[in-house]
Structures are given as C-alpha cells and as structure tokens.
A and B are shown apart, each in its own frame.
Chain A
Amino acid sequence: MRLWLVIALLSPAAVAQQSASVARGDKLFAQGCSVGYCHGASGSAARSPRLRGRTFDRDYLVKVIRNGIPNTAMPAWGDRLTDTDVNDLTDYIQSLANAPIAVSGGPSTETAAPPAAEKAIDIPDEHRNGRDLFFDLTRESRCSVCHRLNGVGTAAGPDITKGSSISATDGPQVLRYGRPRTVRTIVLKGNERFPGTAVQRTAAATSVYDLSTTPPVLRRLLNTDIQSIQRQSNWRHRDAVRGYTLEDLQSIWNYVRFVAARK
C-alpha cells in the first residue's frame, strides 16, 4: 500500500526511471547475489540473510555492498561494480521491502554475463601474461608461493617490488642467478637442517619459513630447540624458478616493475 502511495507521488518519468533501475538491479542481483548459496532467489535467503520483506537504510545498503562486512561471507563489491550498479542494486533490494517472504514464480532466467569480477588493478594487456605467470595456481613453484604482490601470495620472501630498480634487461638473469641474502640454514638440535627465512624472534620462540618444500611452512620453533642459524645456505632461487622459461621471467619482471611503478 505504502509503496503504491510513493509511486503515485512520483512523476511518470521518475517512475519509469525507477522501475528501469529496479529491473537492472534485479538482473544484477540474480547474477551476483542470489548465486551459490548466498542470498537466495529474489533475496529469499540461503546461507546469507533474507533480504525480502525487510526494510534497510539506503546508506547502509550502499555501504555494505561497496565495502562488504569484514569477517563474514559478504564481500566488498566496490571495485567490481560501478556506482550505477550499486544504485540499481540498492533500488532493487529496497523494492523487496514489502514483498512476501516466500517467492512466487520461477527463478530468474537471465543469461547475460555476470558483473565483471576482476578485482586486481587494471592490468594493460601487455602485462596480463606476466601477472598470470606470477600467480599461476597450476604451478607448484609459482612466484606468489613465496612473494606477496597486490595483497595476494605468501610473504615468505622479500617484497619483490623493492628490487624494481633492477632493469627490465637484467631482471630475468637476477631471478635466475641472484643469491637471496635473506635465506639462512636453520639447524635444530638433533641435527635437522633446512633452508629458511627468519620472520620473528621473541625471548622464547623463533618463527621461520621453512623453504624445503612448496608451499613454505611458517614454523614456530622454541629457541631451546634451535642449535644455530647459519648465514650461508645451499638454497638457490634458480631452483624455485626452474619451471619458468627466460621469456616467462621477462614477462614476470616487466609486470613486477609495472606494479612497483603504480605504487
């Protein structure tokens, strides 16, 4: 009833605009929000809360869609949706306020492409290959298994962008033959020894990344269990990058330099 009153007070043009944005929001919702086990068909609830038949503050909806809710399954859509998308989604969710809790009719039959989901910074085509190689999950020993870049990867090794002053020409050679200064030999009592990078040392314990295998293991060792930490190590970066060709390493290095320049 109230909804009809509001619509009656709007100009015909505004109504048309409003319903167009609700329709667009409906489509976006079906593609991005009701999928999987999330908010269910038309906001009817699944693993995430029901949105039908509930009243939400508009600013709150916009904020949650953009920023997500940390430590919950609600992701931040801010870098995947345009302002218009967020606006249309908000219109749609608010249009469900007086909807019956149960959904009538079939599920949405929209077949258009889902909203763009590329989260990373815009990557020019020439750097896509380097990026994909850096993060390639099909490789046991990919760069990101030891280096964190753009918030993805394990920081067992140093911040690789700090070496970006190394030229594009020298980069691949350094990746192959360079001798990282951060890798030590950790010797435990009982004579277990392994290559590792020390992360943190307290009075009682030392955290080290064990580089014997991939992925590296963050081990928290009691200082009383450590025999010694030696500066030299047999570990070689060329073993870690063995799966990459020189051409691959060139693409990777160009990408790293590109990321470093954007910082």
Chain B
Amino acid sequence: MTRFVALFAAALSLPAQDGATRENWPHYGGQTNAWRYSALDQVNAANVKSLTPVWSFQTGDNEGGLQATPIVVDGVMYISTSHNRVFAIDAATGRELWSYHFELPKGFTIFYGPWNRGVAVADGRVFMGTLDNHVVALDAKNGRELWKVNVEDANQCGCNITGAPLVVKGKVILGVTGGDSAHRGYINAFDVKTGRRLWRFWTIPGPGEKGHETWTGDSWKSGGGSAWMTGSYDAELNLTYWSVGNPAADFWGGNRKGDNLYTDSVVALDLDTGKLKWHYQQIPHDVWDWDTAYENVLLDLPVNGRPRKLLLNVNKGGYTFVVDRATGEFVAAWPLVNNVNWITGIGPKGELLGRNEPVVGKSKIICPSIGGGRSWNQGAWSPKTGLFYSTGIEWCEDVVAVPETPKEGQVYFGGTFKLTHKPLKGEAGGHLGGYDPLTGKRAWLYEYKYPLLASILATAGDVIFTGDADGFFFALDAKSGKKLWNFQTGAGHRGSSVTYSVNGRQYIATPTGWGSALGGLLPQIWPETERLRSGSTVFVFALPEPPK
C-alpha cells in the first residue's frame, strides 16, 4: 500500500513545480523559471475594472524609456533606469529609500543604447550590469557600493551589459551585448560576496574545444554570440539556461562557414561549474540576425501522455521552440506570427526547411524584419489557463548582405536593411495571443496597430496585463482576451509589469516610457511613431481600500 502510494505520488509530482510568485517579485522573470505568473488573485477578472493608481515614481532619466522589470522583496521595490541609476522605493507608498548612480568615465561612448533592463536582488545585495561592462554590487539597505568588476574594457570589446542578472545560490550570472560587433560572447558567474569570477562559459568555443570546428579561420574571435537577456534556473537539475544570440556579422556569413556553435542556441550550464550539459541550436549558421536571445520558460507538461520537463523559447525569427530541459531533445516548434519567409517550415526533428538567405549586393524581402517576430519583451505562462501569452509582430524588411572585415570591438553587421511598408500577409502591426505551449494553437488574439513592446504579466486572478505604445496600460481576460480595463499612463510602454503584495494588499506595477532600439525603428513603417513620448515612471495600481 505504502509502495503504491509512493508510486502514485511520484507520477503526480511533476506538475507540482511551484513557479508562481506571491508577495515578492524576486527575479527578473518572476521566479527563476521565467513564468511571469503570480499566484496573487485579489485582483481578478471580475474586479480589475476598479483598479486605481496608488502612487507613481518618476526617475527623471527619460532617454530610452524605462525598460526594467522591478524587483520587489519584502515591501521594497528596486528598479534600474537608463544610465545605470538604481532606486529603492517603499513598494506600498512610493517613497524613495535610496538611489545610486554608476559614474561612467568622462566622454565614454555608449554602445547599443543607455538602457538597463533590471537589477537582481539576493543576500541583502543588489546587482547590476553597466554600460561600460562592469558588474556592480550594492548594499540593499542603503545603496552603498560594495564591489565592482570590469568584465572586459568596453572601449576594446564594443560590448556592455543591459540585461538583468540572474542570481541564485550565491552566484550572480550575466551575459553581455556585442552580438553586432566583432566580439566573442560569454556568460560569467561572480561570487555575490566578493565579486570574484567563479566561472566563465565562452559562447563560442576556442581552439581545442568541442564546437570550435563549426567556425572557419579566425571567425570565432569575432563571431558575436551575445547572451544579452536573462537566463533561467532549474533547482532540481541544478542547470542554468541561457540563450545565445546571433553570430556576427549578422547578415553575411561568408567568412564563418559552418553551424557557428553556440550562437542561436539554448545552452544548459551546470550552475556550480559553468560546464555545458547540453545545447540546442535553433538556427545553424544564422544570416538573418535572428538571435536565440529571449527568456527560457521552464514548464512541466505531459507530452504524448508522458510528463516532461520542458523549456520554451521564442526565437526572434518568429518561431517558438520547445525542448526537453533535462536533455535538450527537440519536442516541438510553432510559428508565432504569420509573416515568416526565411524558412518554409520546421521538420519533425527541428530541422529548418527551405532556407531563404540574404544575398550579397542584391535586395531581398525577409520576414519578419530585423526587429523580430517578437522583441525581447517577455511572454508569460499561466499554469491555471494552460496558455502561454506572447506578443508578436507582423513586418518585413528589404535586406542586402555586405561582406565585411571584422575589426575588434567595432560594429560588424554584414549588411543593410530597410523596413518595408507592407508585409507579405495582411497589414504591418502587432498582436498579443494566448497559445497552447506545445502546439501553438491560439485561444485568442488581441490586435494592435503597432508592435506591442512591453512584457506580459499573468496572474491567478485570470487577468493578464501589458501596455502599448500609445501609453495605455491594460488588462485582458486571460481566458478570452477580452479587454477588461485600461489606464492612460502618459507615455508608451517598453518595460515589464509585475505584481506583489504588502500587508495583504495586492499591487500591480508597471514601468512606463517609450524608447529602445526597436522603438526607434518603427518610424520606418509608421512615421507618426517618431512623436511617441519617452518617459521614465513607475505606475502602481491597487483595488480601492474600503473606507475606514
């Protein structure tokens, strides 16, 4: 009997993964599984229409908008802004507790833009990557600088850190930008207390290492492969999952013949050693600047009746890939957008069919555009509705490949592009849908005239939240996609909303402020978007308190 119960329990134990956030929003993606899903349900589909602003916080640094995910720990919210400012704020009242500004060297030239996508908080410390490629640790109580380390000289590498760190078990882990430069990418782990580097994983294997043979000549030294967004972590497997971006040069692969590992791959690294456990390359020899760069959502679902530990990753090329996160085995792939012509499809083993590559010296229409079938703004997974929520973008580009000679740390792009006014199918624009994570079957679709560039927040109240370019922060019914509420925040949305609670009251917080590289591309199709306003404000909402 005992044995029978034990067996039964084992069979059921898989879906018990508790990936929801509650009072706190401790990590970039909510928990380390990147669900962006909260178990809080005080705010729900029935009462969301009563949401009221309770406080706002203006950071004063508007350049590039406010792209961060706020981190909330024990009633304190931590946000980072453009130019590496950090604020600690009372999460119930909006009162500033402390602020910190990372001083850049005088006359420093910023690569890729001044923004920062968030801090990580653990062990009483706040961690941030900087525009001149430092990692800095602050005392969470007062913002005092504890240590900083220069990963590589930014003037030499043409790279910096804009993504939020992942911090688990005494390690702060970050990648780096530089995928459009002649640079060789890496993922580093530092000791939270001392800042000492614990390990480094080169995203491009060096001479003698497995995978090095997928690069020709010296191309590995300048092959890009930047892990520019935040990784995930599975405590049971003790693996940390990172997405490695495009190879450089972006549009021209003439001097890097081969698969170019581990670009456009998800890599699973042992947390303690940084050693590669497995990799899954979505796009061998990428020549479209697709990147495998976005969040790795860790889900447990049955596949053909068998429970599996899965990893879902949206590729910039507009396809969503699902693999087994214990082994890296391919499970499924499905398109998120209608406008995809760089391949004709994906085969049963994950192989790309009918590659349609840019050509040297000749213009070619490629869909989606370089901005991606989706941008980095994260999707969300609700175990309650069983849907993965993600934005998608319908657009195309004219692209020409241009052979280039790499120069260390300099832009290494290998082509030029221009967004075309009309996609191959339908109109250019954005949407947000609820999808079956395995089949891509769409439960509903919410459409918008421009790309939606803010992350999605899902909650157990069956509400999902996000914001648009026009400044509206809004709530949709998680089951039907019906709009339930909106609020005009005064500037467009490019950040990631979160929810948390203090003293039993649930709050919904959203960064606002239009900006970013992608925001800057939009006027090529929609000239009027040049006038969309920047800003840098956190808006916080809650249900009205009953009169006392």
Query: In B68-115, which residues have CB < 8 Å from any A CB?
Result: 83, 104, 106-114
Partner of B108 from the list A40, A70, A219 (CB cut-off 8 Å) is: A70
Q: What 0/1 readout, one digit per residue, does chain B (146-159) give for beta carbons within 8 Å of chain A?
A: 11111111011100
Nearest residue, chain B, Cβ from A74: B109
Q: Provide the bound-state CA to CA distance between A174 and B524, in Å.
A: 58
Q: Which residues of A contact B400 (CB under 8 A)?
A: 106-109
Q: What 0/1 readout, one digit per residue, does chain B (184-215) give for beta carbons within 8 Å of chain A?
A: 10000000001111001000001000000000
Nearest residue, chain A, Cβ from B252: A111
Q: Which residues of B contact A31 (CB under 8 A)?
A: 402
Provide the main secondary structure of the chain A interface. Answer: loop
Q: Provide the bound-state CA to CA distance between A101 and B527, in Å.
A: 8
Asked if residues B524 and A40 are in contact (CB atoms below 8 Å), the reply is yes
Asked if residues A114 and B520 are in contact (CB atoms below 8 Å), the reply is no
Asked if residues A137 and B107 are in contact (CB atoms below 8 Å), the reply is no
Partner of A76 from the list B109, B112, B399, B410 (CB cut-off 8 Å) is: B109
Binds A, one of B163-171, B307-315, B356-364: B356-364
Residues of chain B at interface, number, CB under 8 A: 64
Asked if residues B157 and A41 are in contact (CB atoms below 8 Å), the reply is no
Binds A, one of B7-15, B34-42, B412-420: B412-420
User: Does B521 make an interface contact (CB < 8 A)?
Assistant: yes
User: How far, in Å, is B371 (CB) from chain A's closest CB?
Assistant: 9
How many chain A residues sit at the interface, stated as a range, is 35 or more
Asked if residues A220 and B411 are in contact (CB atoms below 8 Å), the reply is no
User: Does A158 make an interface contact (CB < 8 A)?
Assistant: no
Partner of B196 from the list A70, A114, A213 (CB cut-off 8 Å) is: A213
Q: Which residues of B contact A137 (CB under 8 A)?
A: 152, 156-157, 184, 221, 408
Partner of B362 from the list A37, A109, A135, A140 (CB cut-off 8 Å) is: A109
Nearest residue, chain A, Cβ from B144: A220
- Given the interface pairs A106-B363, A111-B361, A118-B407, the reply to whether A217 lies near B516 with Cβ below 8 Å is no
Nearest residue, chain A, Cβ from B148: A218
Partner of A111 from the list B146, B398, B402, B521 (CB cut-off 8 Å) is: B402
Partner of A152 from the list B109, B156, B405, B518 (CB cut-off 8 Å) is: B156
A-B contact count, CB below 8 Å? 165
Q: Which residues of A contact B421 (CB under 8 A)?
A: 102
User: Does A163 make an interface contact (CB < 8 A)?
Assistant: no
Asked if residues B197 and A144 are in contact (CB atoms below 8 Å), the reply is no
Q: What 0/1 readout, one digit per residue, does chain A (208-235) give for beta carbons within 8 Å of chain B?
A: 0010111111111000000000000000
Q: Provide the bound-state CA to CA distance between A35 and B145, in Å.
A: 37
Q: Provide the bound-state CA to CA distance between A210 and B190, in Å.
A: 13
Q: Provide the bound-state CA to CA distance between A107 and B233, in Å.
A: 42
Q: Provide the bound-state CA to CA distance between A213 and B111, in Å.
A: 27
Asked if residues B150 and A215 are in contact (CB atoms below 8 Å), the reply is yes
Asked if residues B83 and A71 are in contact (CB atoms below 8 Å), the reply is yes
User: How far, in Å, is B273 (CB) from chain A's closest CB?
Assistant: 15
Q: Which residues of A contact B195 (CB under 8 A)?
A: 210, 217-219
User: How far, in Å, is B451 (CB) from chain A's closest CB?
Assistant: 14
Q: Provide the bound-state CA to CA distance between A140 and B400, in Å.
A: 37
Q: Provide the bound-state CA to CA distance between A50 and B194, in Å.
A: 44
User: How far, in Å, is A13 (CB) from chain B's closest CB?
Assistant: 32
User: Does A48 make an interface contact (CB < 8 A)?
Assistant: yes
User: Does B523 make an interface contact (CB < 8 A)?
Assistant: yes
Q: Which 7 A-B pairs have the closest CB atoms?
A: A106-B363, A47-B517, A217-B195, A41-B418, A37-B517, A107-B416, A47-B520
Q: A36-B180, A107-B400, A216-B149 are in contact. List 5 more A-B contacts (CB 8 A).
A: A72-B63, A103-B524, A111-B361, A114-B404, A210-B195
